[in-house]
A = this chain, B = another copy of it.
């Protein structure tokens, strides 16, 4: 096996990202990725042992980017309302700056048959802490009693809708402000 190189690894992830957005997970292959970066398929296998590993590598890359974007505002000494508003603000800014990451994460979440291959909340420290906090807020009667995972999915879906409306240049997109989206999310999150 050739020695690994971070910039090649990144090239592979970028090419796979484009392919998944264009052709979906099923329509993406290591052959197509190799073709797009003018490399050999065998070279890809020195970074990712299989298509499955490549696909989950792409998901993890974009999920980490998103988590890194919201981590700095995750401060549990804030009021629950301020904390949720700050987290959603960062998510919307992230969606503006990294629409491909939002599309990748939502493409994976949208396919029930892929979900079992994805990392779970327990695999990530920040997500674990966030879910603990949601559960505590629910016990305290501050937020909606719907399962915490469903509330998190709902928040993420609204962010995806915001991102898609901007990307698709929907006629209502110019009237849609971040403040409106935050308000809508706050309305269903808090009791």
Q: Which residues of A contact B (CB under 8 A)?
A: 22-27, 103, 106-107, 109-110, 112-113, 115-116, 144-151, 153-154, 157-158, 160-162, 164-165, 167-168, 170-172, 175-176, 180-181, 183-185, 187-188
Who on chain B is nearest to A24 by CB? B24
Main secondary structure on A side of the interface with B: helix
Q: Is the CB of A157 within 8 A of B146?
A: no
With a CB–CB cut-off of 8 A, which chain B residues contact A151?
184
13 contacts between A and B (CB under 8 A): A26-B27, A27-B27, A107-B110, A115-B164, A115-B168, A144-B187, A146-B176, A148-B172, A149-B170, A149-B172, A150-B172, A154-B161, A187-B188
With a CB–CB cut-off of 8 A, which chain B residues contact A25?
24
A154 to B180, CA, bound (A): 12
Who on chain B is nearest to A19 by CB? B26
Q: Is the CB of A112 within 8 A of B161?
A: no
CB distance from A130 to the nearest CB of B (A): 15
Given A23-B24, A110-B164, A112-B168, A184:B154 Cβ within 8 A: yes
A107 to B186, CA, bound (A): 27
Q: Which of B23, B116, B171 contacts A27 (CB 8 A)?
A: B23
* Most B CB within 10 A of own CB, among A25, A106, A148, A164: A164
With a CB–CB cut-off of 8 A, which chain B residues contact A145?
180
Given A26-B22, A107-B110, A188-B188, A161:B168 Cβ within 8 A: no
Who on chain B is nearest to A22 by CB? B26
With a CB–CB cut-off of 8 A, which chain B residues contact A172?
147-150
